[in-house]
Amino acid sequence: MMAPVLILLTFLLLLGAAAEEIIGGHEVKLHSRPYMAFIEYVNDKGKNYNCGGFLVKDNFVLTAAHCMGSSMRVTLGAHNISFQEETQQTIPVAKAFPHPDYNFKDDSSDIMLLKLERRAKRTNAVRPLRLPRSNAHVKPGDVCYVAGWGMVDPNGKLLDTLQAVELTVQKDEECESRFPHRYNKATAICVGDPKINRPSAYGDSGGHIVCKNRAVGIVSLVDKNGSAPGTYTRVSSFLSWIQKMIKHS
Residue 194: give its domain's CATH number.
Answer: 2.40.10.10
My answer on whether 226 and 242 are in the same domain is no
Q: How far apart are the first and last CA of the chain?
A: 29
| Known catalytic membership, residue 110 | yes
- Of the candidates 108, 109, 200, 205, the residue annotated as catalytic is 205
Which of 113-127, 146-160, 166-180 bottoms out in mean pLDDT, i.e. has the lowest?
A: 146-160
Question: Into how many domains does the chain fold?
Answer: 2
More confident residue, 106 or 222: 106
At 198 the pLDDT is 40
Mean pLDDT (whole number) for 6-34: 54
In the predicted model, is pLDDT for residue 3 greater than 80? no
My answer on whether 172 and 194 are in the same domain is yes
My answer on whether 154 and 232 are in the same domain is yes
More confident residue, 199 or 204: 204
- Of the candidates 108, 109, 110, 204, the residue annotated as catalytic is 110
| Known catalytic membership, residue 205 | yes
| Known catalytic membership, residue 108 | no
In the predicted model, is pLDDT for residue 17 greater than 90? no
In the predicted model, is pLDDT for residue 6 greater than 50? no
pLDDT level of residue 116 (50, 70, 90 thresholds):
very high
More confident residue, 165 or 55: 55
In the predicted model, is pLDDT for residue 21 greater than 90? no
More confident residue, 126 or 196: 126
Range of the domain at 55: 34-128+238-248
My answer on whether 147 and 230 are in the same domain is yes
- Of the candidates 66, 79, 99, 208, the residue annotated as catalytic is 66
My answer on whether 221 and 168 are in the same domain is yes
Q: Is 180 exposed, middle or buried (0-12, 13-18, 19+ CB in 10 A)?
A: exposed
Domain presence at residue 28: no
DSSP designation for 176:
H
My answer on whether 103 and 163 are in the same domain is no
Domain presence at residue 178: yes
